[in-house]
Amino acid sequence: MAAGLRLWRLLLLLLLAVLAVAAAAAGGGGEGDERAPALFVFGDSLIDNGNNNNLASFAKANYFPYGIDFAGGPTGRFCNGYTIVDELAELLGLPLVPAYSEASSVQQVLQGANYASAAAGILDDSGGNFAGRIPFNQQIQNFESTVAQIAAATGASAAASRVARSILFVGMGSNDYLNNYLSPNYDTSRRYGPQQFADLLVRQFASQLTRLYNAGARKFVVAGVGAMGCIPSVLAQSVTGGCSQEVDALVLPFNANVRAMLDGLNANLAGARFTYLDNFRIFRAILANPAAFGFSVVDRGCCGIGRNGGQITCLPFMPPCADRERYVFWDAYHPTAAVNVIIARQAFQGRADVMAPINVQQLARL
């Protein structure tokens, strides 16, 4: 009798699990599903949320004080709190999406997954000075595995519909400059001029985005490379302590190429909707008038060592600044959560000068 009861309980649990997967796949269950059923994230340390934790990598942030203002503590986010995609998930009515490396079941990825990896680039060899990382090509392969996993659980038709209605956020390119073109242990800058390198990157980038389209994705938010000339690590290398116009000018051809490339993909890939996040413009606006955004410290990291808090980045158990909400930069390379939230909200409902041709809210409702 007891054995029979245990069997019935097991069958009931299995039935409930199947129903939960089916309900999620159908898109029911809340306001967020009316906007987008899932958010899938690709990128580098600006939006990594833990994929590097178990890699043999120097690019890790799974220690205090990273995450000091995040409910989960140090998770692998290179920030004191929210990343851009954390805030975007909330604005879309979704839970914070899990790191792909930590998602062990299909239920965990039905509403999205984060494939981003610190030190990753568009080019496979970018970021090699940090050892382990997951380049964009491998992130795409991991997404293809996720799509297959969802299809196996929900059926091919339901999976295709879900992926097509989901939003993909792609933020790549920073490491191709900071940890490739501008790095002394690479010969890239001797082989390519700035425009040639931008052309090389965007040819590869277009192929990679098309691969995501071929995996079933249709709605894309693609972020340009942000203004890097004023980050603490660059300031610390400056003789005058000022921002580097040369570094900022270096990435402008890439951003211009990306915008033109996305226009071409929109025209040539049936049903695709690519929109561009001009985080370079947003960041420059913050630096030009920090007080208007609630900031007062723009020239050093909240957690770091040396000139501008940028010569050595935030080390384990290093005490950070107390008034973090007043700082633009968290460490030598990354913005604070306060900046990330501003960028995410601009992405979600910003005008065409920062989100072109449409913002995330409009994209989700298509």
| Catalytic annotation, residues | 45, 331, 334
Which among 164, 153, 119, 192 has a CA at the least distance from the CA of 24?
Answer: 153
**Backbone φ/ψ region at 60: left (φ over 0), alpha (ψ -120 to 50), beta:** beta
DSSP tally for the chain: helices H, then strands E: 14, 10
Please give the backbone phi and psi of residue 319, each rounded to the nearest 5 degrees, phi first.
-65, 125
> What tokens appear for 234 in the block?
């660059």
* Separation CA 311–CA 299 (nearest Å): 13
**Cα 47 to chain center, whole Å?**
4
Which among 106, 82, 91, 101 has a CA at the least distance from the CA of 18?
Answer: 106
**How many angstroms separate the first and last alpha carbons of the chain?**
54
**Residue 20: how many other CB atoms lie within 10 Å:** 13
Residue type, 61: A
